Structure 1
Amino acid sequence: MFHRGLWNEGKKQSRQLALLAGAGVAAGGAAVAQAYVFARLVDGVFLKSLGVGQLRHWIYGLIAIMVARAAITWIIETVGSRLALAVKTDLRRRLLTHLAALGPVHGGAERTGELANLLGEGMESLDAFFARYLPQLAVTVAVPLLVLAVVAPIDGVAAIIMLATAPLIPIMMALIGRWAGELHQKRWQVLSSLSGHFLDVLKGLTTLKLFGRSREQADIIFAYSEEFRRTTMGVLRIAFLSSLTLELLSTISIALVAVTVGLKLLYAGIGFGEAFFILLLAPEFYLPFRLLGGHFHAGAAAVAAAGRIFDLLAQPVPEGAYGTLPLAAGKGITVELSAVSFCYPGRDRQALMDVSFTIPAGKRVALVGPSGAGKTTVVNLLLGFAAPARGAVRVNGQDIKSVCREDWLRNVSYIPQFPHIFAGTVADNIRQGGRGSQAKVVAAAEAAEAHAFISRLPRGYDTLIGEGGLALSGGEAQRIAIARAFYRQAAFIILDEATSGLDPRTEKAVRTGLDRLLAGRTALIIAHRLTTVYSADLIVVLTEGMVAEQGRHEELVVKEGVYSRLVGAYRGTA
């Protein structure tokens, strides 16, 4: 069983690999030494009638070797576990970093449930490869070679039998392994699909209930589960078949060695001590192969998961949207899009084509247009989730590609239409990893009109919210998001329509917080309801990825262009 990616990961931990190799050699030496000492003891007691006093040093030697073998086994298991932990930690960190680098634009097509399963159970399955299969492989290489080196000078025929029968076991493992590998791959794919679909069902349970489709989805999950059961049972059947085959081959091989040695013993071709020594070594010769076969299928499961892990790591990270230069100082933040074009991966139609407009420092610019016009793409470019294919995004006169990521994002706050509430306390959600005082958190919440409802929560700012905690209403979540922006004190605000779907009273509270937040700051407002853009300093109208027109509300209405038609359509349905 070979997987280039896993072997390369193992080679990075060269110290542990060297220890495993050394321990494997030591295990072989200890096995040979134990068989030799035990053969001498039996020969001395039963054939030479030696007393305990004469055999004392052999008894002590046997005890010491047995202790040494136990210690070597412990070392192999410990080093293997540490190797597995080091590889899993490094791979998990790299995969998370890579997914973050891909961002929501290039990595957004991946199913959340599948990724969660991959980072959890998928990573843990690698433990079998590095903690059990790889250490046993080291022992399997070392022990048979040492046994052959010792047996060959004593009995060449027995050594030839061992050498001839030993390859049969790896060959059989390879033949069965190819079949098992396909089943392990299928099993992993079914499990990933089941995890992804199950999470989708949980997230959309309300919709499924409303449309009466929950029972149908339960049947689909049951079908996935049944398929997973069938593939798992198929893997187990192969594992049992493999074990039976290995045991049968080992038993027949040991029997052949025993017959050969017995015949030589009968016809005085070899002494009892040497014959018994070889008979003790024969099982030691085949035992590593049998144990390797037992760990083979656990390793195959790791290889199946590793395929998906390394496929994700191989996905090219998009062209860097940031550089290393500090953000140029200025009176506020000025953002300019200059002839920007962008196309999403795997799509023929461009999302943006030669888009140009400026967001002056301290001004509010509204971005409007029908669905699919490119509004979200503009946000993705400003947040660095993607880089323009052509043109440039400039901040205070600098191309954003040259600006340090931390410098730029420190000046940006994004308030989405449906803000995410993380599992944790209210204060943690407002801080978002910051280290400010509780007073700063409270001040941010007060400015966002959130302090009143937070104070009514069971434990105030220490109340657990998000997954596993208290659920917040849409308006409460929006005010938490606004409080985050106040806490950051960012100079540039990107606001995706934050008041849609709220009742009038909650909308008023949210708008009060937003007006307070946007005062004196540069803001880009993604508008879905045109009532929110009438007072903007500039309105940019997008249609089919292009700027159709831009200006103030009064100017655009009289032009009777795209914006005028949008206003008319909105008033007709309002």
Structure 2
Amino acid sequence: MATARVLGKVTDDVVVPALHKGSVPGAQLTEACLTLAAISVVSTFAFLVRRLLGGQLQFRLQATYRRRVASRYITAPYPWLQRRPVGEMLAVANSDIEAAWLPIARLPLLFSVVVLLAASTIDMVLTDLALAGVGILLFPAILWLNRTYQNLSAQHAITSQKYRGEVSSIAHESFDGSLAVKVLRMEDRETERFRESVFRLRSSNIAFGRARSFFEPALELLPNLAVLGVILVGAVRIRSGHIAAGDVVHIAYLVTVITFPLRIIGNVFKDLPRSVAGFDRVQEILAQESPSEPDEQISRHTEGTGSRMLELDSVSFVYPGGNSRAVDGIGLAVAPGEVVALVGPTGSGKSTVAHLMAGLINPTGGAVRLHGTDLRSVPRDEACDRISLAAQQSFLFDDTVRANIALRGEDDDELVWQALRTADAESFVRALPDGLDTSVGERGSRFSGGQRQRLSLARALLRKPELLILDDATSAVDAEAEETILRKLQNSSLTSAVLVVSSRRSAIDIADRVAYMAHGKILDQASPSELYQRCSPYRTLIDSYSVLRTPGSQQTKTHTAGDL
């Protein structure tokens, strides 16, 4: 505004007299130039500060929301994570958060240009009402243009953000499943699947670009038309003697000035569809159910369970969206120092029971009790220290052996070696070039499946849990090595009780008690030999897995493919 007023004064006091007289005093010209230069310096400094602070605000908000989303991912209930594609979650944490806060850098500028817009309009009206009317006609034109653009581009922005997540998800699946892709020669199929997804994203982006290609040129055109209108009307007003030439220059410059705030507002509107689409996807993640805190209303103690370390009391569980119970009113207890084997056919609910005992999921009926205390009322850190789960799918971070076992970084090497010794992993770790400092590679790629499982088992043992749950955690090692590991667990001081989820004879033989599970229910439980004699489904299952020596006799029973 100061520039507009100075330009108007310079026009009347310097330019017009110079046209009539053919010269202008040097002091007057120098004063005009220095004034304009001073205004430019102040404006440039203000612009830099505004952009710096606006950028800081944008990037800090993005960082804050990335931390919130990451925290929600890390603390989300296990079933919720299982239902979400990893690629889609990565897209939300990256491109959606970036899109959500894209307009925020312009926010300080937006506030300032709103003030500028109001003050410039008042200045134009006070200078000349007729010329102000021509300039003000620009407002409804820009508003109509923004509204039209919103209608054209909103759906395209939502679709585009959705396809970004789809592309990321497919790429992640293809890379993560590279072994299956190579073995099954699915390179062409995966390439085609990725190509189709990318083309859908491309088409959506092109449609979005078409909407923007209409908006941006029109946004450039309207202010220029308004300036031409001001010059034409101003020429008539000058001839009639109503205003001076400086007033026309003053208002014409103000029209270009108010074009800037209108353009900023337009740019914010231009980015809003994508921003809203990204923010909605981020909010969907943040609005998901938070992990439940210990419930003070749940009874913490139950009488008569002192001899039971962990007990399932009429526990049922239904997965979200499921039509039937994965676990149906089961009762199972593990006592201190006891080894219990949970056996059953595929899909019987064994892993669900393991996850219930580990506190990864909460029962939809009944209760899981730790020393008589409902597990839902036990603080998460305490429960994790007392119950440890080693799963079939072992995961190793791209770090050293030591770091993967002592994840909390609080344990000395002697405890690490003790855990490795119990997990039957000491010998191959000592044979590594750098011992505990050897890098395991991404997802433990430098080790075999059996070695990865033993390292994961050592990690679970390091905390010296009261109950160790092995959910097929030794399935990748041979039967002899599995039996060795389980025998070491029996005699180890690193754990008090063990629950083994397995159908392999080497795991079952060392158990004090076996529970047979089918269709979400525990049908029977007894010692291995007793259960083998009296439970026909259990006997059939065990016989189908191995060549065994019949209990109570020296006869070896061999099964053929037809028997199986």
Superposed CA deviations along residues 171-222 of structure 1, whole A, max 9, x for unmatched, are: 2122122221211222222221111112212222322333332212211211
Q: What is the one-letter code of the residue matched to 2:436? A: Y
Q: Quick one: structure 1 residues 166 and 443, their matched pair in 2 at CA, closer, same or farther if it must change by over 3 Å?
A: same
1:234 aligned to 2:196? no
1:373 equivalent among 308, 325, 348: 348
**Secondary structure class of the residue paired with 2:346:** coil
Q: Which residue of 2 aligns with 1:126?
A: 100
Deviation of the 1:334 alpha carbon: 0.6
Q: Which residue of 2 aligns with 1:26?
A: none
2:149 equivalent among 159, 168, 176: 176
Q: Quick one: structure 1 residues 570 and 279, their matched pair in 2 at CA, closer, same or farther if it must change by over 3 Å?
A: same
Q: Matches of 2:535 and 2:516 in 1, distance apart? A: 13
Deviation of the 1:411 alpha carbon: 1.6
Q: Quick one: structure 1 residues 506 and 535, their matched pair in 2 at CA, closer, same or farther if it must change by over 3 Å?
A: closer
Deviation of the 1:526 alpha carbon: 1.1
Q: Quick one: structure 1 residues 512 and 353, their matched pair in 2 at CA, closer, same or farther if it must change by over 3 Å?
A: closer
Q: Matches of 1:491 and 1:331 in 2, distance apart? A: 14
2:282 equivalent among 309, 312, 326: 309
Deviation of the 1:492 alpha carbon: 1.6
Q: Matches of 2:112 and 2:64 in 1, distance apart? A: 26
Based on CA coordinates, which of the two structures has the bigger radius of gyration?
Answer: 2
Q: Matches of 1:558 and 1:302 in 2, distance apart? A: 66
Deviation of the 1:400 alpha carbon: 1.2
Q: Is the 8 A contact 2:310 2:334 kept in 1?
A: yes
Q: Which residue of 2 aligns with 1:492?
A: 467
Q: Which residue of 2 aligns with 1:62?
A: 36
Q: Which residue of 2 aligns with 1:27?
A: none
2:357 equivalent among 374, 382, 385: 382
Q: Is the 8 A contact 1:499 1:511 kept in 2?
A: no
1:270 aligned to 2:243? yes
Q: Matches of 1:63 and 1:386 in 2, distance apart? A: 68
**Secondary structure class of the residue paired with 1:410:** helix
Q: What is the one-letter code of the residue matched to 1:334? A: M
Superposed CA deviations along residues 54-109 of structure 1, whole A, max 9, x for unmatched, are: 46655444323212211221222122212212222222222222233332212311
Q: Matches of 1:104 and 1:402 in 2, distance apart? A: 18
Identity of aligned residues (%): 25
Q: Matches of 1:324 and 1:101 in 2, distance apart? A: 22
Q: Which residue of 1 aligns with 2:555?
A: none
Q: Quick one: structure 1 residues 367 and 511, their matched pair in 2 at CA, closer, same or farther if it must change by over 3 Å?
A: closer
Q: Matches of 1:515 and 1:182 in 2, distance apart? A: 61
Deviation of the 1:118 alpha carbon: 1.9
**Secondary structure class of the residue paired with 1:413:** strand
Q: Matches of 1:57 and 1:528 in 2, distance apart? A: 95
Q: Which residue of 2 aligns with 1:220?
A: 193
Q: What is the one-letter code of the residue matched to 1:229? A: R
Q: Matches of 1:108 and 1:36 in 2, distance apart? A: 65
1:113 aligned to 2:87? yes
Q: Which residue of 1 aligns with 2:259?
A: 286
Q: Which residue of 1 aligns with 2:379?
A: 404
TM-score normalised over the length of structure 2: 0.88
1:137 aligned to 2:136? no
Deviation of the 1:48 alpha carbon: 4.8
Q: Which residue of 2 aligns with 1:343?
A: 318
Q: CA RMSD in A?
A: 2.8
1:567 equivalent among 518, 542, 558: 542
1:204 equivalent among 173, 177, 196: 177
Q: Quick one: structure 1 residues 299 and 514, their matched pair in 2 at CA, closer, same or farther if it must change by over 3 Å?
A: farther
Deviation of the 1:445 alpha carbon: 2.8
Superposed CA deviations along residues 536-568 of structure 1, whole A, max 9, x for unmatched, are: 122222221122111211221222343233234
Superposed CA deviations along residues 463-516 of structure 1, whole A, max 9, x for unmatched, are: 222328752111211121122123222222111122223346754665565455
1:40 aligned to 2:9? yes
- Which 10-residue stretch deviates more, 266-275 or 511-520? 511-520
1:531 aligned to 2:506? yes
Q: Quick one: structure 1 residues 570 and 442, their matched pair in 2 at CA, closer, same or farther if it must change by over 3 Å?
A: closer
**Secondary structure class of the residue paired with 2:470:** strand
Q: Which residue of 1 aligns with 2:230?
A: 257
1:82 aligned to 2:56? yes
Query: How many residue pairs get matched?
Result: 541
Superposed CA deviations along residues 395-453 of structure 1, whole A, max 9, x for unmatched, are: 11111121111111112221111210111122111111332234443443344332332
Q: Matches of 1:110 and 1:336 in 2, distance apart? A: 31
Q: Matches of 1:371 and 1:555 in 2, distance apart? A: 23
1:419 equivalent among 394, 410, 418: 394
Q: Which residue of 1 aligns with 2:309?
A: 334
Q: Matches of 1:495 and 1:199 in 2, distance apart? A: 29
Q: Which residue of 1 aligns with 2:549?
A: none
Q: Quick one: structure 1 residues 381 and 504, their matched pair in 2 at CA, closer, same or farther if it must change by over 3 Å?
A: closer
Q: Quick one: structure 1 residues 397 and 503, their matched pair in 2 at CA, closer, same or farther if it must change by over 3 Å?
A: closer
